[in-house]
Structure 1
Amino acid sequence: MGTDHTSKIVGAVWGLLVLNTLGSAGAQTIIPLPRSLIQVVTMGALGAAFVLALAVNLRLRIRAGAFVFLLTLLLVPSVISSANLESGFGALFRCARLALFAGTLWLLSRWWDGGLTFVRHHIRMYFAVLGSVAAGALISPGAALPDLYGGRLVGALWPLTPPQIGQYAAVITGLTVLLVLGRRTDRASAAVIIVPALVLLALTHTRTATLGLLVGLVLAIGSLILTSAAARRFFAWAVLCAAVAVVGFGSALQAWFLRGQSQEYFTSLTGREKVWDALLAAPRTTSEQLFGMGLGDKSFGGLPIDNSWLAVYHEQGLTGVALVAAIIIVLGGAALLRPPSLPRACAIFLISYCAIASYTEAGLGDASPYLLHLAVAASLLAAPAADPTLPAPAASRRRVPRWAREWR
């Protein structure tokens, strides 16, 4: 199988994983889509991704790494807590989904070599998703900016919520900016992605995604400042533009940030704290504290948890929290130990974005876009694979005594 053909299949597998993690709950679409139909499509995408990954990696060549290993270990508390069926048979179904998701990443790990291949796959796939959002907004602005969401942008063709759209826009914007700074793409091609993505991000009024984009870029570009003149120039211009924006458009930025909410409602994280307090105050057995209640829909009392750490604690217990924390710490530590480079900067951006978003968004404990972001970071931090076309190093010759040579 040719290299180009294999690369296309790997890209298709990544696209199917992206489709699987889009979810099935969101705003009303222009053409009503039954939730059961969406679930069949997303789960079918995951099954197809696994089959394609297996077909292109029949010899099961994998690269052992801490990320996929810890993700696989996360199945242990998930299965233990889901086996008692407190969360219904859906919990076991979600465990099977997580196992298939992790298995597909294991098969793809063969191509994790520290290069930017999966960064480009990531940008292309999520840009296609954002293209569907933009198309829905053009076809039916009323459906794309409904009053139910306070006029925030939603998916009118596929049920996507404002936080989802904001997340996708922020991630591909940050990665594309870094590719420009690393001279891995030209400015015209980057503008085609960055400008529409920023417009969609602004229309979603998503504060978490905006904060994650800004902080992630500061950390990522900061890792390049000592070795890249382009990074230093960009950082200086960004600071200047930010100062001008704060002085000239401070009131408009504050209004956008508050989204018409009161100061008290904003400080309570739009009511999230009430759900968090109730979740932490709920009585739990020792087993439930250690392994959780089973994989569910990331809600408590019918309300979304909107915090990855509390969602993991609720569904996979303290064991799950420890494993998710280990994933972030291991990836972050690996990024800090690498010498300055563009792949390292992209990994720092993705890790920091996921860490920031974990405070107000759930998803680190189950198959989700956040785990795909971290998978891309893991691929960037992997050691380059040995080139099979190069001759193997000559074996070191051991000095042989003269008497031994005579008896050979």
Structure 2
Amino acid sequence: MGADRTPRIVGVAWGLLVLNTLGSTGAETIVPLPRSLIQMVTMGSLAAAFVLALAVNPRVRVRPSAYLFLLTLLLVPSVIASANLESGFGALFRCGRLALFVATLWLLSRWWDGGPTFVRYHIRAYVVVLCSVAAGALASPGAALPDLYGGRLVGALWPLTPPQIGQYAAVITGLTVLLALGRRTDRRSAVLVIVPALVLLALTHTRTATLGMFVGLGLAIGSLVLTSAAARRFFSWTVLCATVAAVGFGPLLQAWFLRGQSEENFTSLTGRAKVWDALLAAPRTTSEYLFGAGLGDKSFGGLPIDNSWLAVYHEQGATGLTLVAAFVAVLGGVALLRPPSLSRACALFLISYCAIASYTEAGLGDASPYLLHLAVAASLLVAPAPAAHRPAPDVPGRPVPHRARRSEVV
């Protein structure tokens, strides 16, 4: 089903999924928000997304997806480990949240057609989030750039941390650049998204997001170089600008990258390596090795794990680790086997970004923005259904035809 026949309610449901993954902890906001209220909003958004997805797809028609199938299997070790209540009743609650999250993705998969529909939904949703960040920074610069975070940009209206903001800014920047290269949007619309997002990314001083964006774009644009003159020009200009920046602004870029950290702190990845070593050295029973300790808050010994693979190993065991590695490998393999296209380039960007970010960020084993990024990649890699076999919408009334415009991004 093409983008012009996708019910608008699908985009609303996707936006609610994005809201659910924003989390409930982070910086102090201008107006203090009780954590219970934030959790009520985020969990309510997930329930609303499921209800809307079911309402628009009452016959539960889904598209085959190896990604969603493996993600569904991930519920098995999650439930087995969480049933021991080693991580408390909160683990079972997180299992229920993950199950509802995956069920909503299955319902929305009916509209996965290999086109940029969900890329646009993704960009629009995160543009709204970043607009709230920018509004908070304008309303209260002190709250948005607190000393507690070393002067890095945080969410002053909604409790978002610098890595979260950096992630959202990097992802929508990369996707918008690719849409512009594929002539799915005009330059003016692209600039209105890319420039503010890059400013916010710079203010967060988030190295992982910046590295992931550049590497992901390099791979994505490289996949288009042989078939797109625009991609070749962009690649050439990017290399030239990067060389000039490295020569002329080397010390400034190095200072931004180091963030004033000592060499020891930098080499230990801001203390992450110590947590990782302790986690790997901890004794485990056979059950814990196979299925983990149950879904928790992605911490060990009271400190954040900040590594998707180790977080999955700790909470879902070797079984969960195998399943996560499998769906990342399947998506990457399918993307590499596809012929060059804009959809393939966007999928490669998202997959490579998530792979890089997984080294210093947790999220591949639970409902998170990373699973949404990979879901968008999966939607881009499905084979389009033949026009004669595309099902009619289940919602009452005939959809209003909508002709896609080049300027359509957000």
- Common fold, TM-score beyond 0.5? yes
Kindly tell me: are residues 236 and 6 of structure 1, through their superposed partners in 2, closer, same or farther at Cα, counting changes over 3 Å? Answer: closer
Q: Structure 2 unaligned segments of length 5 or more: list them.
A: 391-410
Distance 1:314 1:249 in 2: 42
- SS of residue paired to 1:125: helix
* Aligned match of 1:395: none
1:324-339 maps to which residues of 2 (within 5 A)? Answer: 324-339=324-339
> How far, CA to CA, are the matches of 1:378 and 1:279 in structure 2?
32
How far 1:385 moved relative to its partner?
1.4
1:123-134 to 2 correspondences below 5 Å = 123-134=123-134
Match of 1:182, as an amino acid? G
Deviation at 1:7, TM superposition (A): 2.3
Query: What is the match of residue 111 of structure 2?
Result: 111
- Structure-to-structure mapping, 1:16-95, within 5 angstroms: 16-95=16-95
Residue in 2 that maps onto 1:220: 220
Distance in 2, Cα, partners of 1:364 & 1:377 = 14
The residue that corresponds to 2:407 in the other structure is none
Residues 116, 343 of structure 1: 8 Å contact kept: yes
RMSD (Å) for aligned C-alpha atoms: 1.0
Once the two structures are superposed, what CA deviation does each residue of 1:207-231 show, in whole Å capped at 9, x if it has no partner?
Answer: 0000000000000000000000100
Equivalent residue letter for 2:131: G
**2: CA distance, partners of 1:352 / 1:389:** 33
- Whether contact under 8 Å (1:50, 1:104) holds in the other structure is yes
1:293 aligned residue: 293
Number of corresponding residues: 388
Q: Which has the higher contact order (CA 8 A, sep 6+)?
A: 2
C-alpha contact 2:143 2:156 (8 A) present in aligned 1: yes
Amino acid at match of 1:303: L
Match for 1:175: what amino acid?
A: L
Match of 2:408 in 1: none
The residue number in structure 2 matching 1:350 is 350
* TM-score normalised by L of structure 2: 0.94
- 1:174-223: CA deviations, max 9, x gaps? 00000010000000000000000000000000000000000000000000
2:195 counterpart residue number = 195
Given that 2:6 and 2:111 are in contact with CA atoms closer than 8 Å, whether structure 1 keeps it comes out as no
TM-score by length of 1: 0.94
Retained in 2: the 8 A contact 1:6–1:56? no
The aligned amino acid for 2:107 is L
| 2:386 corresponds to | 386
The DSSP-based 3-state class of the residue aligned with 1:49 is helix
Which structure's CA Rg is the greater one? 1
Q: Which residue of 2 aligns with 1:262?
A: 262
Question: Which amino acid in the other structure matches residue 83 of structure 1?
Answer: A
Structure 1 unaligned spans of 5+: 391-408
Q: For 1:108-151, what per-residue CA distance to the aligned partner results, in whole angstroms no more than 9, with x for missing partners?
A: 01000100000000000001000000000000000000000000
- In the TM superposition, structure 1's runs of 4+ consecutive aligned residues that sit over 6 Å from their partners are none
Q: 1 CA distance for matches of 2:386 and 2:33?
A: 47
Cα pair 1:180 1:186 within 8 Å, conserved: yes
The aligned residue for residue 238 of structure 1 is 238
* Alignment-derived partner of residue 311 in structure 1: 311
- Select between 354-363 and 59-68 the one with higher mean Cα deviation: 59-68
Q: Which amino acid aligns with 1:232?
A: R
Q: CA deviation at 1:6?
A: 5.1
Q: Provide the residue aligned with 1:210 in structure 2.
A: 210
Separation in 2, partners of 1:237, 1:264: 36
Give the match for residue 122 of structure 2: 122
